[in-house]
Structure 1
Amino acid sequence: MELFFFFLISLLLVYSIYFGIRTLAYKTKENVTGMRPSLPPGSFGWPIIGETLQFIAAHYEGTVDKFVSKRATKYSSKEFKTSLLGENFILFARWRPPSVQKLFPSMKFFFKFNEAQKLVASIDSFSRNQLKNNWEGKEEVQVHPLVNIINDTEKVSKLLYHFNHLNEGILSIQLRIPGTPFYRAIKAAEALRKEIYLIIKEGREALAKNLASPTQDVLSQMIAVPFDDGFMPELEIADKILAFLIGGQDTTTATITFAMKYLAEMPHLYNEVLKEQREVTALMKPREVLCWDDVQKMRYTWKFVNEIYWSVGFTQHNSVYYSEPEKFNPIRFEGSGPPPYSYVPFGAGPLMCPGKEYARMTILVFLHYAVKMFKWEPILPNEKLKFKLVHVPAEGFPVRLSPHQN
């Protein structure tokens, strides 16, 4: 215990010295120049209208990301000035903290909207395989974790050790000193890339020998399917698979777990979700695999999932914006929904979470098959939560399954 406190005090001292030096350097620069640092590069455009027309055009075309990335590239800066709607702005193009940028150096912008649609069939296959292989025929299962991007439990188990270190340091202070969370995260990211390179190599060989389909999983899609700017380089594939694994390992699986928890505790919500999913199935016939249009019809289910999410600032607990925020009520998302920027589990604006559509599809597709195949009840009704990157049930949310008789 004494050793732990000594380490903690030493770490706090290092952090204090680090930030003290940065603050002193800033103050010194301000005193020498007699003014604060100048504005970032950019252009205010035409008088009065500025760059409003370009921004509106990008908005209607669904290419606001290009409006941002084009200027960030032009001015070689992650921040730039512009003028919109008669007001001058400084636009920050960082959608990830610096620690994440260093851990995933090759990642620029993520899948675009139309490219995310290509993954529905892969997610459909994953969900059905998971339920068939790990749930069907069993009386009891652990719900969390549910979704693995790579359908190979031996490889996933091998990677978990590195995932834990990466998750612990992904949002930490950037100190590349042995023993710090960020240093361990860097080493973990390097180890994970080596493992993923091997998986990519195996995937290429399987595709070349026709032992795998180009659309059977996310990895095959990235290797074989050309995107707007050609095929993905291996480093970018590795970084994106890493990002998918982290998202699937924590945030997405946690959301699915809590969705199943609330469905078990509130039978009337379960019945509403089941009713909608059976309607989607009826409209699919004779198709058996979900497509993008099917996912768009899961409106009530997505409102239910929205009620599960909570934002970093807990803005949805504010009664100014939400009526009876303490009650679980998916109906609050009907009509115009909550006020702008009051509900931000994925962030907001053109640089919102790039994995939003992927997470949405994964959650909805899994719930589609889960509710159609089973009902369930919690084995530990008063199970406690633990926190890692997100809150999750401490015992993995064990449930007792009851398959539908149809």
Structure 2
Amino acid sequence: MAAFFLFVALVPLVLVLVLTIFAFTRRSKGCRNLPPGSLGWPIMGETLEFLFGKPEKFVFERMNKYSPDVFKTKILGEETAVLCGPGGHKFLFSNEQKLFTAFRPHSMQKIFRSYRAAAPPAQLPTDEVAKTLRSPGFLKPEVLVRYLGKMDSITQQELEIQWEGKEVVKASSFAKTLTLRLAFRFFLGSDDPQFIARLVGSFDDITMGMHSIPVNFPGTIFYKASKAAAGIRRELRKTIQEKKAAMATGATMQDILSHMIAVTDPSGKYMPEAEIVDKIMGLLVAGYSTVATAMTFFMKYVGERPDIYEKIFAEQMEVSASKKPGEELDWVDIQKMKYSWNAINEVMRLTPPLQGTFREALTDFTFAGYTIPKGWKIYWTVSSTNKNSEFFPEPEKFDPSRYDDANAFPPFTFVPFGGGARMCPGKEYARLAILTFVHNVVKRFEWEVVLPTEKIVGDMMPTPQKGLPIRLRHH
């Protein structure tokens, strides 16, 4: 009798498994000229290898096994074609909105859940916010330059608060706190250092959860991200109410949050508060993790290369010598920091702050002789070129001089901010924030990395496991 009940209990599970495998194989055979590759296990596909293996290892192994141009896989629940190499980058960037539309993984859609009622599921705050930012020109250089002085003063304050008088500090935690403070000041017009420092852990949780298996169970990465997002929403609603009250008094506001509160659509309706919250949260996340990662690994790579530090120091001292005492950085100063920006480019090549993004095929299309069906997801990744010795000799070597010659490597081989119509709208903001940090930290300190072999964890948001402790030497 017990065996009978066990059989009855297992029948539904077996039926679901059989139907899943049938649907899986039927979809796979629906198009005869699919790219080579493997869709992995039913349902899960190759998600675990994608999330928990090194990004370049995942890509390079399949490029070598299947095709250097394109391969198929299944990740985060989606049948996906990975376009590789400069040819893949160029094809993708040239066909935005023609063949492709934006897509974000289900985990990301659910974290930004309140906004889904106002937009198609494929849209996310980061896509819509890009439009919001571009229309009034918040991220144009001529607008950003007005914020440069504030970036400079905030960076100096954080260095004085966190590093002055100390011998050993953690570069990663500093970079995160500084970056989040800059983002709050720029996007929200808010600057409360203690309050912002308390939110760093929540933003880390969200960033890790955006590319995760969307299982909302205590202990999972996605559960922590959802909980953190709910907490940040509560704080942002308070900030919005405070901002509305200040605006009602006639106070002049020039930050992005104020613009979102005041803007109306063609019918005269104001943006719903839930939509504002999710857009601002998307902006803060985008302006936080990538910039903080670049700053952190600048400290690592330059700390391990005193010869490169000396070149950056000489350049920054030239900038400093042209300033009056107490004078803040300006646009002309930033343009002088060519070698420093070359070093940052090399940091982003070796440890990309952004591993890649997804698109969705709007129609069947052909690439490299293979057909990718409508509805499939397209994954664009820097991993197919950044460490390819064909384009970057000695790819593991930290060498800022690679960028001295603009024609040193083929077009579309180094694209840390993407390209085409969807190039990261915050590229110039990131450049100003990072170079302002470089200028101030190099002026004040020399440093050495305490743990050169420290493990790097979190492949979608690379982070030194122990926070990258560095030993400071004050100038």
Q: TM-score range by the shorter chain?
A: 0.5 to 0.7
Give 1:279 shift.
2.2
User: Structure 1 CA distance, aligned partners of 2:241 and 2:263?
Assistant: 22
Equivalent residue, structure 2, for 1:42: none
Q: 1:241 to 1:293 in 2, by over 3 A?
A: farther
Residue among 197, 216, 223 paired with 2:237: 197
TM-score by length of 2: 0.58
Aligned counterpart for 1:94 among listed residues 102, 121, 124: 102
- Indicate the SS of the match to 2:172: coil
Tell me what 1:133 maps to. Answer: 161
User: Which whole-Å deviations, capped at 9, do the CAs of 1:168-205 have from their partners, x for residues lacking one?
Assistant: 32123556788765465444323321112213434555
Moved more, 273-282 or 88-97: 88-97
What is the RMSD of the two structures over their aligned residues, measured on CA atoms?
4.2
| 8 Å Cα contact 2:303-2:309 kept in structure 1 | yes
Task: Identify which of 171, 187, 209 aligns with 1:143.
Answer: 171
Q: How does 1:30-179 map to 2 (within 5 A)?
A: 90-94=98-102, 96-97=104-105, 99-104=107-112, 105=115, 107=125, 108-110=128-130, 111-112=133-134, 114-116=137-139, 117=141, 118=144, 119-145=147-173, 146=175, 147=178, 148-149=180-181, 150=184, 151-156=191-196, 158-160=198-200, 162-173=202-213
Structure 1 unmatched runs, 5+: 1-12, 37-86, 216-220
- 2:304: which partner in 1? 265
- 8 Å Cα contact 2:207-2:461 kept in structure 1: no
Counterpart in 2 of 1:5?
none
2:108 maps to amino acid = V
Structure 1 Cα separation of the partners of residues 212 and 284 of structure 2: 19
Q: Distance in 2 between matches of 1:389 and 1:26?
A: 29
Query: How far off is 1:333 after superposition?
Result: 1.2
Cα–Cα, structure 1 residues 124 and 328, in superposed 2: closer, same or farther, change >3 Å? same
* Aligned mates of 2:167, 2:223 — CA distance in 1: 43
CA distance in 2 between counterparts of 1:88 and 1:365 reads 33
**Which residue of structure 2 lines up, in the alignment, with residue 332 of structure 1?**
402
Distance in 2 between residues matched to 1:162 and 1:319, nearest whole Å: 38
Determine the structure 2 residue equivalent to 1:313: 383
Label 1:314 to 1:382 Cα distance change in 2 as closer, same or farther (>3 A): same
CA distance 1:154–1:133, change in 2 (3 Å): closer
Q: 2:134 is aligned with what amino acid?
A: K
Which 5+ residue runs of structure 2 have no aligned equivalent? Answer: 1-13, 35-94, 116-123, 185-190, 353-381
Query: Residues 312 and 340 of structure 2 are in contact (CA less than 8 Å); yes or no, is this contact kept in structure 1?
Result: yes
What is the aligned length? 333
CA distances 1:206-263 after superposition (whole Å, capped 9, x unpaired): 67789x9957xxxxx2244689967995555533542354345533222212111222
For 1:254, the equivalent position in structure 2 comes to 293
Higher mean displacement: 188-197 or 104-113: 104-113
Equivalent position of 2:228 in the other structure: 188
Match of 2:339 among 300, 313, 337: 300
> Contact 1:115 / 1:227 at 8 angstroms: preserved in 2?
no
Q: Which residue of 2 aligns with 1:6?
A: none
Bigger relative contact order, structure 1 or 2 (CA pairs below 8 A, ≥6 apart): 2
In the aligned structure 2, how far is the partner of 1:179 from the partner of 1:380? 29
Q: Give % identity.
A: 36
How much does 1:372 deviate?
0.8
CA distance in 2, matches of 1:258, 1:322: 19
Residues in 1 aligned to 2:284 and 2:194: alpha-carbon distance in whole angstroms: 15
Which amino acid counterpart does residue 156 of structure 2 have in structure 1? Answer: R
Contact 1:95/1:352 (CA < 8 Å) preserved in 2?
no
Counterparts of 2:415 and 2:386, CA distance in 1:
9
Give the residue type in structure 1 aligned to 2:416: P
CA distance in 2, matches of 1:17, 1:128: 62
Tell me which residue corresponds to 2:330: 291
